A and B are shown apart, each in its own frame.
Chain A
Amino acid sequence: MRTFKIGGVHPHDKKIASDCPIEQFPIQSKAYLPLSQHIGAPAQAVVAVGDKVLVGQLIAQAGGFVSSPIHSSVSGTVSAIGPVKDFTGRAIPTITIDVEGDEWDPSIDRSPDIVRECALEPKEIIAKISAMGVVGLGGASFPTHVKLSPPPGKKAECLIINGAECEPYLTSDYRLLIEHPEEIVIGATIMMKALGVKRGYIAIEENKPEAIALLTKTAASYEGVEVVKLRKKYPQGGEKQLIDAVTGRRVPSMGLPIDAGAVVQNVGTSFAVYEAVQKNKPLFEGVVTVTGDCVKNRGNWLLRAGTPYQALLDSAGELPVGALKLISGGPMMGRTIVNPEGPTVKSTSALLVLTAEQTSRQKETGCIRCGKCIDACPMGLEPYLLNKLARLGRYDEMEALKIADCIECGCCLYSCPAYMPLLDNIRIAKAEVIKRIRARAVQK
């Protein structure tokens, strides 16, 4: 069985919500749609306060090439355009919509029939994906059309659909694979056509045997699509790790997946591409897992973007008394929710509720040079050394030690027996090093 070669850890997978089928989450009275739901330039609002909007209507256009438009996830009246606090407590420009009914844009095909044929040319496919606001749903929300347009001189050789879902607790991708296998395979073939590649892999970890069996059966009738079974290891869902696991190639330092001839897209993105291209449906909803050991009503919800996390939390049922940690995303790479009134975005994958005991950090002690972090680092870095240099602010040395290659997966922190805040310090230093590298590039 294949997996990536360097590093990695084995956290308990805790897929406790995997048996909950995907259900439509009730629409709330207000939707908050931030103008920046993706990496890149924020979108620019094209509606004004008081405008009536329909579900799926364009409300903000892309602010550049590396940007993505925003579509309304509800029907109703635009009540405000201005700063609203997101889940981290930062006020960001947001379009607020008062919900009235659930009226869809008539151009969206809402029938359950599967559309298999795609007659569009590659360029038209990419333009449509861009217009429908599809972004990567694996976590980073990178606009999909940018990934599907390799820079000149570089050629993609294969497409990899990421169904690894290596983060513990998360089950949204798994449910999509089980419930919409054919749509995902069609989405993959559409992206293969857009890229002009003949080979497509759907990579799934061994802890999802039903999904592997089902997808293998479905993919058999589509040429060039192959299902790859991977050994369970975190962070297999990282682009560079997945390419290594599936093709055996390594992405060079500071390089992009395209340098290894591969383009990686998430299962959710593949489904969104299918809906965008075949059903004319913009990306405004996605599957969100509500889970946690203390959560009574776990679920996988089809959730409209812009729903406050509080509504999801209310759906979770009675929660234990005392301080809880709410995480948007998985426990390894997710971000803590400070303001539950903050809205979800189109790439939100999960609301994870952990108790204080589960998240309490042990007191930090000194580094004992055991080297566990070096063994765990999937990028082959030396986290203990980077941590030390980060505290001293020695940026040139950190750059030479390839700190910019860090994928912030947290394996070092997870494996450290001295509970050192390795990733916390490395993340800040990495941002500073990248800033310096960019400043140098601008000077040149």
Chain B
Amino acid sequence: MSNIILITIVTMSVLGIILAMVLYLVAKKFKVEEDPRIDIIEATMPGANCGGCGFAGCRDFATACVKAGSLEGKFCPVGGNAVMKIVGEKLGLQVEEKAPSIAVVRCNGNCDVRPRTSIYDGSSSCRVSASLYNGDTDCAFGCLGLGDCEAACPFDSIKINRTTGLPEVNPDTCTACGSCVSACPKQVIELRPKGPKDRRLFVACRNKDKGGVARKACTNACIGCKKCEKVCNFEAISVTDNLAYIDPAKCRLCRKCAAECPTGAIHEVNFPPRPPKPAAAPASPAAPAAPAAPATETLKKEE
């Protein structure tokens, strides 16, 4: 009996040693040489594998950085400038600084201002809905509200608000990877520079219908009246196909356009509240100058 056990142990051990040697020799002989820097770079990446850089995951991006020998056109939107700086240092390459971006939702047609004209009862997906028809409101350009962006976001930072029916971006966690931009079949979401002190101005509408048609479908829609285009001192606003667009590269955040917009389609984010308008003045003809004084006082207090 003990003989059998002994023979088994010896055979298995000898077999194990022989096979281990074969494996070792094969591993030595056919070793794939890989640049050790790829592992180092990959370790510094955020590891989200979101594809926001345009490569298939973090390792692919690291490989591309090492192989290309230049970091031109390569940027990890999730890690941002901080990570790219480390990557540049480790590879000894120049890094171009980029202003941080954020996803903005260019639709403000919430449930109150954009009435439903039909009930969509199909598959709960914007892509499917968009392939079938124009959406359950009369606006053919706006958010469908079925949450393809929410499902696509790898960072859980875009969520459909159930009361407004529109997606909302969490500015703290959004990395501007662009997953939601490519998931949206209506091109509602855009990546825009975060702006100084997180302040930004944008036209929250995509409606290219003529003013009257757009207004009928949604009272918050851009009607292409060109008031913003005229008031802008920096030629940052252009109106094409009845839709205004603010070029973030030219915009100086003066907010004149937002005040001028008759439908409130231009959204201002993170700006201090505006001083109350001294518009009440002409209302009481008896004392025209009197109400103006307190208004300036409150303004001073805020400052």
**A residues near B, CB below 8 A?**
88-91, 323, 325, 335-336, 338, 359-361, 364, 421, 424-425, 427-428, 431
Contact = CB atoms under 8 A, between A and B. Distances in A.
A304 B134 CA distance: 26
B117 A428 contact: no
B140 interface: yes
A312 B275 CA distance: 57
Interface in B6-26: none
A335 B119 CA distance: 14
Given A90-B134, A336-B133, 12 more contacts: A89-B135, A90-B140, A336-B132, A338-B117, A361-B121, A364-B123, A424-B125, A424-B131, A424-B132, A427-B131, A428-B128, A431-B131
A338 B122 CA distance: 13
Contacts of A323: 119
A421 B123 contact: yes
Contact of A424 (B119, B128, B138): B128
A361 B122 contact: yes
A165 B121 CA distance: 27
Contacts of A89: 133-135, 138, 140
Contacts of A427: 131
A338 B191 CA distance: 32
Contacts of B128: 421, 424-425, 428
B127 interface: yes
A361 B123 CA distance: 9
B118 interface: yes
A88 B121 contact: no
Contacts of A325: 121
A425 B148 CA distance: 13
B122 A424 contact: yes
A338 B133 CA distance: 8
Contacts of A338: 117-118, 133-134
Contacts of A90: 133-134, 140
The 7 tightest CB contacts between A and B, nearest first, are: A421-B123, A89-B134, A424-B128, A424-B123, A88-B133, A338-B118, A338-B133
Contacts of A424: 122-123, 125, 128, 131-132
Interface of B: 117-119, 121-125, 127-128, 131-135, 138, 140
A431 B118 CA distance: 26
A274 to B, nearest CB: 35
A360 B134 contact: no
B123 A425 contact: yes
B105 to A, nearest CB: 22
Nearest to B123: A421
A173 to B, nearest CB: 26
Contacts of B123: 364, 421, 424-425
9 contacts: A88-B132, A89-B138, A325-B121, A338-B133, A359-B121, A361-B121, A364-B124, A424-B132, A425-B123
Contacts of B133: 88-90, 336, 338
Contact of B122 (A88, A91, A421, A431): A421
A99 B85 CA distance: 72
Nearest to A420: B123
A91 B241 CA distance: 15
Given A89-B138, A89-B140, A428 B131 contact: yes
Nearest to B134: A89
A325 B121 CA distance: 10
A323 B133 CA distance: 18
Contacts of B119: 323
Nearest to A89: B134
Nearest to B128: A424
Nearest to B135: A89
A89 to B, nearest CB: 4
A211 B17 CA distance: 83
Nearest to B119: A323
A115 to B, nearest CB: 43
A90 B130 CA distance: 11
Contacts of A361: 121-122
B178 to A, nearest CB: 15
A361 B133 CA distance: 18
B203 to A, nearest CB: 22
B195 to A, nearest CB: 33
A254 to B, nearest CB: 22
A360 B135 CA distance: 18
B33 to A, nearest CB: 30
Contacts of B117: 338
Contacts of B121: 325, 359-361
